[in-house]
């Protein structure tokens, strides 16, 4: 069974702080790693889909890196803003089929 774990469970930062959190996944039979942002009262929104070891993707102040050999991905937010407050989910497809296995998420709260 594929286990995707995220840490920390929650994070409180001040506006302007930079922050990062981790997604861990089994390094064998890796297919892809997804990051999603889930704001309160909205549906999860895809941030990145990463497939290659060493991949780095960026979207505005948010970036992500991928290490498939050691089984982790980092999500970075530079200069956090209150609108970045959300739950950040990572997920990876199962070996068979197209099921995504989701981590439990990291809840980020940015105080102004």
Chain residues that interact with other proteins, rule: CB under 8 A: 32, 34, 36, 42-46, 49, 51, 89, 91, 97-100, 102-105
CB nearer other proteins, residue 17 or residue 101? 101
Closest separation in Å from C-beta 56 to other proteins: 17
CB nearer other proteins, residue 6 or residue 19? 6
CB nearer other proteins, residue 52 or residue 112? 52
Closest separation in Å from C-beta 12 to other proteins: 17
Closest separation in Å from C-beta 45 to other proteins: 8
Closest separation in Å from C-beta 6 to other proteins: 9
Paired residues of 102 in beta bridges: 91
Task: Collect all residues with Cβ–Cβ distance below 8 Å to 83 and sequence separation of at least 6.
Answer: 110
Q: How far apart are CA 100 and CA 112, in angstroms?
A: 34
CB nearer other proteins, residue 99 or residue 109? 99
CB 50 within 8 A of CB 31: no
Q: Cα 58 from chain centroid?
A: 12
Local structure of 49: helix, strand or coil: strand
CB 6 within 8 A of CB 60: no
């Amino acid at each position: 069974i594929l286990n995707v774990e995220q840490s920390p469970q929650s994070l409180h930062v001040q506006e302007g702080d930079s922050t990062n959190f981790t997604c861990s996944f089994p390094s064998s039979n890796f297919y892809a790693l997804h990051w999603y942002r889930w704001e309160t009262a909205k549906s999860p929104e895809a941030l990145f889909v990463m497939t290659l070891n060493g991949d780095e993707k960026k979207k505005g102040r948010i970036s992500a890196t991928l290490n498939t050999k050691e089984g982790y991905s980092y999500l970075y937010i530079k200069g956090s803003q209150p609108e970045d407050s959300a739950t950040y989910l990572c997920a990876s497809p199962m070996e068979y089929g197209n099921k995504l296995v989701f981590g439990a998420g990291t809840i980020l709260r940015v105080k102004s």
